[in-house]
Amino acid sequence: MGIPWWLVGGVGALALGGVLWSEGQMPGGSVGHSAAPRCEVPITLHLEAVDARFRLERDAVQAALDAAVTMWDGQTPDELFRQRDGEGMPVRLVFDQRQAGAETRDRAREELDRLKARIAEHEERLDHRHAALAADSAGYQRRLEDYQARQREYEQAVAAWNAGRMEHSARNRERLEQQRRALDSARDDLDQRRRTLERRRDELNREIRALETEIDAFNDQVAELNREVSATGAFDMAVYEQQGARRSITVFKASDVDELRLTLAHELGHALGIDHVADPAAVMHAVLGEENAGRSELSETDRRALAEACEVDLAP
């Protein structure tokens, strides 16, 4: 008995584009990015306003700002920043369509992550059932081959009886009858096993087809989210602004505390007079992408940019 199988393929990947620090690409953003015209340290700053719609506690935002400051201050014995309540450069989180859109996309990603996990669990269960069915099918095949060998042996014995090559004794007749009854019982058992295996096969294939439909729907949702991300394009996650002695940092988008820390560190770099750098692994690169997301410290490119902009000695 041959039992066909459908092999389930992998689900689609969330090929989501990176978010950009590149300024000025969405309405409401600044016209081009700006860095301080020169490095004047120490820079006094304070956390001013945190829009509650960011769903980030003020203490968490302050901790992210502290960590961003430390990323720079830890690079040199010189004091680069000092925080004083209500004094100096304000740092604020302003909620608008950038954060609103990001939160909508984040919720969509979270839902897709849950769907992908559910699909993976379903696929694993089907794999186990496939393996069990394959093992039982192999066992059935062995029983069938044994039955066929016994059937041939019985037929040869009957042929010998009919040809007179076997003594027509009551003992031999009874032995042939026992063989026939045993074969009939084995055949009935095999028929039952075959029907059971076919039912299990059909049920498994129906579930696999249902899973394939679920995977197709998942991939369609991934594609739609990717289209939305692509259509969003680059925008200001944050902006450093300076007019004379007045300067400020405004954050428009922060999905979590770690992203906020990196965004603040990037804008603090602008406050130090550091422009964007070409190194994609650097905090001061224009794009927040796979190579610099989650950095816990500055790259060597960032350090060299700091030394050049502020003419400070770097810590080893």
CATH dotted code for 19-103+237-310: 3.40.390.10
Q: How are the residues of the chain apportioned to helix, strand and coil, as percentages rounded to the nearest 5?
A: 55, 10, 35
Q: For 10, which DSSP code?
A: P
Is there a contact between 36 and 271 (Cβ–Cβ < 8 Å)?
A: yes
Instruction: Please tell me the predicted confidence (pLDDT) of residue 15.
Output: 30
pLDDT tens readout for residues 58-96: 999 999 999 999 999 999 999 999 999 999 999 999 999
Is there a contact between 49 and 92 (Cβ–Cβ < 8 Å)?
A: yes
Distance separating alpha carbons of residues 5 and 245, to the nearest angstrom: 72
Is there a contact between 51 and 96 (Cβ–Cβ < 8 Å)?
A: no
Q: For 285, which DSSP code?
A: B
pLDDT tens readout for residues 118-139: 998 998 998 899 899 989 999 9
Please count the other Cβ atoms lying within 10 Å of the Cβ belonging to residue 264. Answer: 25
Virtual torsion, Cα 70, 73, 79, 85, nearest 10 deg = -20
Stated pTM of the model: 0.68
Average pLDDT for 257-267: 95
pLDDT tens readout for residues 18-44: 333 333 232 233 334 578 999 999 999
> In this structure, which amino acid lies at residue 257?
V
pLDDT tens readout for residues 41-57: 999 999 999 999 998 99
Query: Cα angle at 298 between 305 and 98, to 5 degrees?
Result: 95
Percent with pLDDT over 70 in the chain: 89
Distance separating alpha carbons of residues 27 and 227, to the nearest angstrom: 19
**Band of pLDDT at residue 311, cut at 50, 70 and 90:** very high
